[in-house]
Amino acid sequence: MTSRTSPSICRVCMNFCPVDVEIVDGVVQRVSGDRTNPIYRGYTCVKGRTQAARYTDPSRLLHTLVRRPDGTYAPIPTDEAIGAIAEKLTGIVDRFGPRSVALFGGTYMAMDSPLNLSMVDAFMTAVGSPLTFTTSTIDQPGKPLAKGFHGAWMAPSQAFDDPDVALLVGNNPFVSHQGRNGAPADFFRGLAARGGRLIVIDPRRTETAKRATLHLQPRPGEDAALLAGMIRVILAEALHDTEFVAENVTGVDALRAVVAPFTPDVVAARADVPAEDVVAAARMFGTAAKGYAAAGTGPNMTAKGTLVEYLLLCLDTLCGHWMRAGDRVRNALSLVPAAIQPDKAQALPPFPAYGYGEQLRVRGLTMTAAGLPTAAMADEILLPGEGQVRAVVSVGGNPAACVPDQLKMVEALRSLDLLVQVDIQMSPTAALADYVIASTLPFEMPGTNLMVDFLPLYANGVGLPESWAHYTPAVVDPPDGSDVIEQWRFLHRLAGRMGLQLGLYPALGEVIHIEGSEPLQLDMTQDPDTDDLLEHIHTGSRIPFTEIKQHPRGALFPDPPVHVRPRDPGWEGRLDVGNAIMLTDLGDELTAPEPEGYPFRLISRRLMHVMNAPTFAAPQTRPRHNPAYLHPADLAGLGVEAGDVVEIRSDRTAILAVAEADDTVRPGTVSISHAFGGLPGEDDADVRRAGSNPGRLVADDGVHDRFSGQPRMSNVPVRIGPAPVDRR
Ligand SMILES: Nc1nc2c(c(=O)[nH]1)N[C@H]1C(S)=C(S)[C@@H](COP(=O)(O)OP(=O)(O)OC[C@H]3O[C@@H](n4cnc5c(=O)[nH]c(N)nc54)[C@H](O)[C@@H]3O)O[C@H]1N2
Ligand SMILES: Nc1nc2c(c(=O)[nH]1)N[C@H]1C(S)=C(S)[C@@H](COP(=O)(O)OP(=O)(O)OC[C@H]3O[C@@H](n4cnc5c(=O)[nH]c(N)nc54)[C@H](O)[C@@H]3O)O[C@H]1N2
Ligand code: SF4
Ligand SMILES: [Mo]
């Protein structure tokens, strides 16, 4: 028996915890947190700690599969599959044009290797198709979109600058690890130690809300009204940073006029929270010297994500919660190109964040700052005519389970001429695919924490508090006799077989157009060396890749220090808190009609033991299903007991779910996570084992955010009743 322990990076979720991987006879045996780590301090979650089981689970795909005419699957050498896919894709492009090929990129595209994202861009550019859909526009697309309406401060927010107040709206970092990355409790301890305040707005008394100084537990979907109410108090009591506003902000009078009707009483009645709590939250936020506001997925999924994110930016801007000239950026970017480090105390004025680039064929949707609206993907497949999508390549995601309006998406995926799914298991999408490419697992490939380094650029309040960089080599080989491939390498080989030439940009180079950033023309005749490509995509980073590689357990890189520079002479850019489109939408909030006949609101959430879709894991941690959590009083009112199967019905369709009692859930809401269950029509009998898919209850062309196209995936009006007798 040979046994060794290798340091590596957990890549089951985007927290990228440094871990020690114990390997016995070439097989991952045990994963534990690296206790020597100065940032994470040995932190891991249950998913990370139990992931060894993934490497040997009998349901792991070790071979690529091809669907036979009778619908069953047979193993096929990966290279043979790639050859066949190349031939089919080339035929489809020749016949229908490049736009007939779409790519779907899910969460694992961004996770196991930082090469995936660059390779996806290179591949789709070479194919000539603009149709890359990702989860970004069904997640928190309001974040980049709102910056377009508001503008962006060209230095970081005070989120990592020892804030005295944090306002978290529908965000639960204790479970999701979205927020301060690292060990979630550390941030909140630090905040409390400084005498700081935590304000949480969430219809559920979440693990995070339990630590809050003030928890508002409103009706879902009322965040815009609540934030407008807070802004009204801050302006009325002149708690804002008048000096910062005078120098850098425009639109205050317009905002003041539109928030005028959002009095504490009006807001309190709408959201069903105490009026004095709205005032208290505003004062807590407005009087703090330093602070920040951030939303999670919940509010972004209410079809008002752009507006909510805009109002949060307005709150931060009114209170001057942005870093100033001379401030030290403690978490200066280490791995992404240094040229995009925000480090100047000045305002980038508003810019177009939608309405440009690719025009989709439905609902007037276009390219956006958050990417192409994924809610239009099913229509782009189903709608006949010029540009109709005939083939989809899906990497790192599970569109058949995760994209809202599952009924339509599954119909669309079934209708394709070619569906290729890269996966580690027979997910619902794999079960519809013509080819299922068996993917390598994270410890079997090199990687870096590039994506978590990038997070502070994406939004306020996400990322690591210090400059932390980490590279890991592959620490184990794929299982003996297996034939698995990295996601990016699959795309590279596929392009090679299609006769395409790929140009690989450094990280974000293609998206952000960094001056001097040139694509590396890849050798298409042989497999590239992973580390050579990693070195290329980290071109221009503040810390050279070769330096990062010398620290097997990762390292802090405080030097060279980054300080915020003063405003350029003559710079006149201003942030806009009075955008006419946003303020019109806000004004409409007070008159929005309530749907009748649906007494409950279904709200989104995450579960500790899974990363979205259930993946095989150690048997003791694998959840059997995703419960529909209801307040005990609601259960009693429905005449249902915990553990009973209930029917949840929206205006789109109905699903079955297993009810569970939970007094942290606001009465009148049902809190349920997504991506469970099987294919429509096949999973009802199995609900206690396989769980339920709330995305099935959502129509992709119903109530939606008009900029991102994101449908209402939280605050969904539903009726709940006992399941039909034969289904209980
Ligand atoms: N109703 C509703 N719908 C939602 C949401 C919601 O809250 N409610 N949330 C939305 C959000 S925020 C997101 S990001 C999306 C997520 O949507 P997706 O990204 O599509 O979903 P995931 O479950 O993260 O994708 C996981 C896929 O990758 C596979 N996988 C797991 N581990 C690995 C690995 O190590 N390597 C590889 N190659 N594959 C792996 C899994 O088998 C699965 O098929 O869902 C969205 N949909
Ligand atoms: N353990 C675990 N971690 C994960 C994931 C996972 O599936 N499991 N998924 C990952 C992904 S893809 C993402 S995008 C992040 C998401 O990270 P978060 O956004 O922090 O995810 P959640 O924990 O679902 O928190 C959303 C919160 O919004 C609340 N909410 C729902 N509707 C509303 C509303 O109308 N208003 C308000 N104010 N709140 C509302 C819910 O009650 C919930 O507590 O998590 C990531 N991390
Ligand atoms: S928080 Fe995420 S990265 Fe850390 S151990 Fe858990 S799954 Fe892995
Ligand atoms: Mo997400």
Two tokens, residue 2: 């040979």
| d(C-alpha 572, C-alpha 655), whole Å | 54
Q: Is the pLDDT of residue 254 over 60?
A: yes
Mean pLDDT, residues 687-714 taken together: 96
**What does residue 422 show for φ and ψ, rounded to 5 degrees?**
-95, 125
Predicted local confidence at residue 683, as pLDDT: 78
Asked, colleague to colleague, whether 59-130+367-572 and 599-727 share their fold, the answer is no
Pocket lining for ligand 2, CB < 6 angstroms: 13, 107, 139, 169-173, 175-178, 201-204, 206, 220-221, 223, 296-299, 302, 603-608, 610-612, 671, 714-715
Q: Which fold has domain 142-323+340-349+579-586?
A: Dimethylsulfoxide Reductase; domain 2 (3.40.228)
Instruction: Give the separation between CA 162 and CA 46, rounded to whole angstroms.
Output: 29
Q: Burial code of 536-550, b = ≥16 C-beta within 10 A, e = fewer? A: bbbbbbbbebeebbe
Whole-number Å distance between alpha carbons of 378 and 459? 28
The string of DSSP codes covering 373-430 is -GGGHHHHHHS-STT---EEEEES--HHHHSS-HHHHHHHHHH-SEEEEEESS--TTG
**Cα gap 494→87, rounded to integer Å:** 10
Q: Is 80 a residue whose pLDDT tops 80?
A: yes
CATH annotation of 599-727? 2.40.40.20
Task: Write out pLDDT tens, residues 478-499.
Answer: 999 999 999 999 999 999 999 9
Ligand that lies nearest to the alpha carbon of residue 607, given by its number in the listed order: 2
Which tens digits make up the pLDDT trace of 33-57? 999 999 999 999 999 999 999 999 9
Confidence of residue 422 (pLDDT cuts 50, 70, 90): very high
Q: Which stretch of 1-5, 164-168, 589-593, 602-606 has the lowest confidence by average pLDDT?
A: 589-593
**Residue of 540, 537, 533, 535 whose CA lies nearest to 516:** 540
Q: Radius of gyration (Cα) for the chain, nearest Å?
A: 25
Give the whole-angstrom CA distance, residue 82 versus residue 63. 13
Domain chopping of the chain, boundaries = 59-130+367-572, 142-323+340-349+579-586, 599-727
pLDDT band at 1 (very low <50, low <70, confident <90, very high): confident
The protein residue with its alpha carbon nearest to ligand 1, atom 46, reads 402
Residues contacting residue 227 through CB under 8 Å, at least 6 positions apart: 169, 308, 311, 312, 314, 315
Give the ligand at the shortest distance from the Cα of 184: 3
Are residues 37 and 468 in contact, defined by beta-carbon separation less than 8 angstroms? no
Q: What pLDDT was estimated at residue 594? A: 82
Alpha-helical regions (H) of 580-695: 580-588, 632-638, 687-690
pLDDT at 261 over 90: yes
What integer is the mean pLDDT of 166-179? Answer: 97
With beta carbons less than 8 A apart as the criterion, state whether 303 and 145 touch: no
Under 8 Å CB-to-CB from 577, ≥6 apart: which residues?
Answer: 150, 249, 250, 251, 252, 254, 255, 314, 317, 318
Protein residue closest via CA to atom 33 of ligand 2 = 298
620 pLDDT higher than 60: no
Could you tell which of 674, 676, 714 is best to mutate to test the pocket of ligand 1, judged by most ligand atoms within 8 Å of the CB? Answer: 674
Q: What band does 138 get if pLDDT is binned at 50, 70 and 90?
A: very high
Instruction: Write out pLDDT tens, residues 295-327.
Output: 999 999 999 999 999 999 999 999 999 999 999
> Ligand 2 centre from 388 Cα, in Å?
34
Mean pLDDT of the chain: 95
pLDDT at 135: 97
Helices (H), 177-296: 184-193, 223-236, 242-248, 252-259, 264-271, 275-287
Ligand 3 in contact with 13 (CB < 6 A)? Answer: yes
Structure tokens at 724: 């039909």
What tokens appear for 634 in the block? 């609601």
Among 399-413, 538-552, 714-728, which is the least confidently predicted range? Answer: 714-728
Least confident of 246-260, 288-302, 391-405, 679-693: 679-693
Task: For a ligand 1 pocket test, name from 423, 482, 487, 671 the mutation site with the most ligand atoms within 8 angstroms of its C-beta.
Answer: 423
pLDDT score recorded for residue 595: 85
Ligand number nearest to the C-alpha of 451:
3
- Under CATH, to which class is 59-130+367-572 assigned? alpha beta
Query: How many Å lie between the centroid of ligand 4 and the Cα of residue 527?
Result: 31
Q: Is 487 in the pocket of ligand 1 (CB under 6 A)?
A: yes
- pLDDT at 584 (0 to 100): 98
Name the residue among 64, 155, 125, 181 with its Cα closest to residue 483.
Answer: 64
Query: What number is the average pLDDT over the span 404-415?
Result: 98
What is the spatial distance between Cα 482 and Cα 589, in angstroms, rounded to a whole number? 56
Q: What is the mean pLDDT of residues 280-303?
A: 98
In the 8-state DSSP scheme, what is residue 302? I
Task: Compute, in angstroms, the gap from residue 139 CA to the centroid of ligand 4.
Answer: 5
Strand partners of residue 347: 153
pLDDT(231) > 70: yes
Convert the pLDDT of each residue in 93-117 to its tens digit. 999 999 999 999 999 999 999 999 9
Which pLDDT band holds residue 614 (cuts at 50, 70, 90)? confident
Q: Please report how many Cα atoms fall inside a 13 Å half-sphere around the Cα of residue 368, on the Cβ side.
A: 33
pTM score, whole prediction: 0.98
Average pLDDT rounded to a whole number, residues 332-350: 94
Cα of 448 to ligand 3 centre, how many Å? 14
The span from the CA of 283 to the CA of 233, in Å, is 8
pLDDT digit string (tens) for 570-585? 999 999 999 999 999 9
Q: Is the pLDDT of residue 514 over 80?
A: no
Instruction: Tell me: pLDDT of 239 over 80.
Output: yes
Taking the centre of ligand 4 as the mean of its atom positions, its distance from the CA of residue 565, in whole angstroms, is 33
Mutate which of 143, 301, 604, 608 for ligand 2? The one with the most ligand atoms within 8 Å of its CB, which is: 604
